[in-house]
Structure formats: structure tokens, C-alpha cells
Amino acid sequence: MGRDLRRSGRRGVRVVNSGERRRTPVRIRYLLLLFASLVLMWVSTPEPGTDKSDLPENRSEITDEMVPVKSSLDPPIVPEIRVGRIKRGDTLYGILSELGIDDVSIMNLATADVEDVNLSRLVAGKTYKVITVDDQVVEYQYEPDDTRIVSILFGDSEPDVRVSSIPYEIETLSLSGTIEGSLFRAVEKIGEKPSLALDLSEIFAWQIDFFRDLRKGDTFTVLLEKVYRDGKLVRYGDILAAKFINSGKKYSAILFSGSDSRSDYFDWEGGSLRKQFLKAPLRFRRISSGYTGRRLHPVTGRIVAHRGIDYAAPARTPVQSIGDGKIVLKKKDSVNGRILKVRHNSVYSSAYAHLRSFASGMKVGTRVRQGQVIGYVGTSGRATGPHLHFAMYRNGRYINPRLVKVPRASILTGKELETFRLIRDDRDALLKEAGTHEMVLREAGR
């Protein structure tokens, strides 16, 4: 039967005679149905090893489990840190009770001994920190010394005490300066603190009198550590090495720890800088009257012998014993004022007169160490102004302190000397690079 094909008025639409029906072949319909069944079976089949009991009965079912999502708009929890200062009479109980800590917890803390730290021992003037979150105390911090931080953590359980080291930044650098007037001014000129001048004077106290011996043009170079915390200078650390050229003579000091683990300063050859006597009993002062057989006494107006050295210094300046020894005289009279006499050994003794006051604990029989403060400069006795009259004796007779020559304390030998030389050469190279520095992270006490 032929087909009557006509064009309709709409282009591209094909119309068949109304007497005929267009049929899809049976084979094509069967193949489509088979393909759809296979796809459905593949989707509904669980993976190998999957327990069917773990599958929901209806795959379209939505569970009630909610997964919390933190919004980026939620404000972060910021701890609040408050800083307080220990006042005289403050106690651990008083501080913690004001923070709302219960009495039982405070008493347990007060009697606790954590890493040899007594929590109840507070030092007036030191600071403490209280850390809170949402007005709840979570931590109390206190530094019992310059090396440790004590932290008490508060929570739902008993307070937890922890002791940690204070983190410091150690800067190692070399500096140099030139004497124009005094050591203090030379140190200040290179931007450093007066305490550095004091440290230098102590190191070379056996070799140089830092008033009488200094000359314009003298130079010094120092390899030292600076201790920082949070970017702020806390103090000077060790002076690792130093050189001082005084009147053309070079003095060297190298810090070294021997077999006894005691650190001390040694010269270039490995000899200890420490000697039996200091060069002077005061760190910084001026000599107002030297040792002489004839001097016009400023009070009596008579010419008399002056068997000692007068050091002019401000009142209350600390006076040090020039060596180890025992106090054999302590008195006050109209001439010498307050005076102390120290016997150092069977040969040498020293005396300190016109003191304003004696240091605490000074009495006849008291043993003193070299460099220990034994009194303070004053005007007691026959004195026109604050000064110290210093005298020395050999076998009970006056001697000129400036002419006393004593041997060094010790000298390195053997393997210690070999180790010392390696350290010496290394630090000497760094001394020659004055102005350079190196930052090193270090914990206190290490």
C-alpha cells in the first residue's frame, strides 16, 4: 500500500494519512527495556563486603543526625590577661581568694612543693598574671626568680601546677670603645649601660686601677651576651672575652670553665686573672691623697706621714675587702672614725677608715671574701669630706698598697690548657669583628 504524503502549511512537519498508524519496531523497545533493567540492578547492588544491615531500608530516608558547623562570623574566644604587683604583706591565699578560688584548693597549693618551688613564697615588687576566659579564672602565673615561670591552671578538676623555663633571646656581639675621660663615659658613648663598665672593672680588677691607671686613648674590646625577653633588653649576660689596652700594655680576659665546672677569667697564656688582692677597695673613685712620708694634714695643718691611700667617693659608696680574710678590728675613734681591719694571712692585713657605716654582719671574727662589701664611704673621724682611707700592712708594718705584688691564683695545664687555647682563638677571632652580632634562642639557666 502506497503512502500519500503531503506537505502541511508548517515547514519541516511530516504528516501521515489518517488511515495509517506509525509503530515503533518491537525489537528496539525490547532492547531499551533490557538496558534500563540492567542499570537499575547495578545501582541497587551493595559493594562487596558491605553488611546489608548497615543499609537503610529506604535509600531516600533522611537521618536526624546534625553535624555542627562553626560559623566564620562567631567571635573568637580571647583570653583576658591582668597584671598585678606583689606588695609587702601579700599572700598567696589573699591573691587567690580574691579571684574566687576555694579555700581547700588554696591550702593544697600553699603546701605543695613542685620542682623545689615554694608557691606561697612571694617577693614584694615582682609581678604576677591572672588569665581569664569569659570572666572565669583559668591560669595564675608567677615568676619566683629570673629563670622560671610557675603556672597554676584552674579547671573542673584540681588545680594543676606547672614549672617552665623563661625563654630568653641571647644576642652575642662584640663592641669596642676608646677612653676619653672615664670608663663610664666610654661605655655610654657606644650606647651601652653603666653596668657594662662595672662588669669590665671587676674582670680586670687585679690588673688595672680604673681611676689611677686609665689614660686618654686607652681602648677596650668586648665579646658579650645581651639577654632579651619579648624584644626588650633585660640584662647583660656573660662577657665571653675582653681586651683592654692600657698605656700601651695589652690585657686579655677569656671566660673558661675548668674541670671543676667553675667559670673564671684567664689571660692569653691560661693564667688566672684572679689574684690574692684587688688593686683597689672601691670600683670607681678618685685618689685625693696618696701614700707619702710627708703630707700637710687638711684638718690639723701639720706635716705628717700619710701611710695609706685616700679615695674620694660619694657617701654610701660600697667598700670591698681586697682579699679573703677575717675581721680582727672593728671600732670607732676620733681620728679614724669607723674603721675595720682585715687579716688576710700570716703576712698581710688591710684597714678601711672613715666609714659612714659597717655592712650588716660585720664583727670581730667574721670571715669575709674578696670583693665582699664590708662598709660604706663616709666622713666619720677627722675628715673634711666623704672618702675612704685605705692602708695595708706586711708583718704588722705599713706598706704602700700600690707596690704590693702578689702571684696569680692558678694556671691551666695539660688538656685543660689545650681546650682553653681552642676557645681562646675562636673568641679572639670574634673580638676582631667588633660590631657584628648573632641572635640565639636560649632558655634561662642553660
Q: Are residue 302 and residue 384 in the same domain, yes or no?
A: yes
Among 132, 150, 165, the domain boundary falls at 165
Q: Are residue 271 and residue 412 in the same domain, yes or no?
A: yes
Specify the CATH number for the domain of residue 140.
3.10.450.350
Q: For residues 205 and 202, give the distance between their C-alpha atoms in angstroms, rounded to a whole number.
A: 5
Per-residue pLDDT of the chain (446 residues; tens, 9 = 90+): 444 433 433 333 333 333 444 444 445 555 555 565 655 555 555 555 555 455 454 443 444 444 555 555 566 677 889 999 999 988 888 999 988 888 888 888 888 878 888 888 888 888 899 999 988 889 999 998 888 999 999 987 888 899 999 989 999 999 999 999 889 899 999 999 989 998 998 899 888 878 678 899 999 999 999 999 989 999 999 999 999 999 999 999 999 997 777 889 999 999 988 887 888 898 765 444 433 444 344 444 444 455 788 888 889 999 999 999 999 999 999 989 999 999 998 889 999 999 999 999 999 999 999 999 999 999 999 888 899 999 999 888 888 887 777 766 678 999 999 999 999 999 999 988 765 444 444 444 44
Among 148, 165, 182, the domain boundary falls at 165
Q: Is 9 domain-assigned?
A: no
**Whole-prediction pTM:** 0.60
Q: Is 6 domain-assigned?
A: no
Type of residue at 46: P
Q: Are residue 179 and residue 141 in the same domain, yes or no?
A: no
Type of residue at 110: A
Q: Number of folded domains in the chain?
A: 3
Among 109, 130, 165, the domain boundary falls at 165
Residues of the domain holding 437: 167-275+407-446
Specify the CATH number for the domain of residue 356.
2.70.70.10
Q: Are residue 197 and residue 142 in the same domain, yes or no?
A: no
Sequence-distant (6+) residues with CB within 8 A of 211 are 182, 280, 284, 285, 286, 287
Sequence-distant (6+) residues with CB within 8 A of 283 are 198, 201, 202, 205, 210, 318, 320
Q: Are residue 297 and residue 204 in the same domain, yes or no?
A: no
Q: Is 60 domain-assigned?
A: no
Q: Computed from CA positions of residues 373, 379, 383, 384, in that sequence, does the dihedral angle turn out positive or negative? A: positive
Sequence-distant (6+) residues with CB within 8 A of 20 are 3
Type of residue at 43: V
Q: Is 145 domain-assigned?
A: yes
Q: Are residue 396 and residue 414 in the same domain, yes or no?
A: no
Q: Is 19 domain-assigned?
A: no
Q: Is 4 domain-assigned?
A: no
Cell numbers for 20, please give them.
Answer: 495509517
Q: Are residue 256 and residue 328 in the same domain, yes or no?
A: no
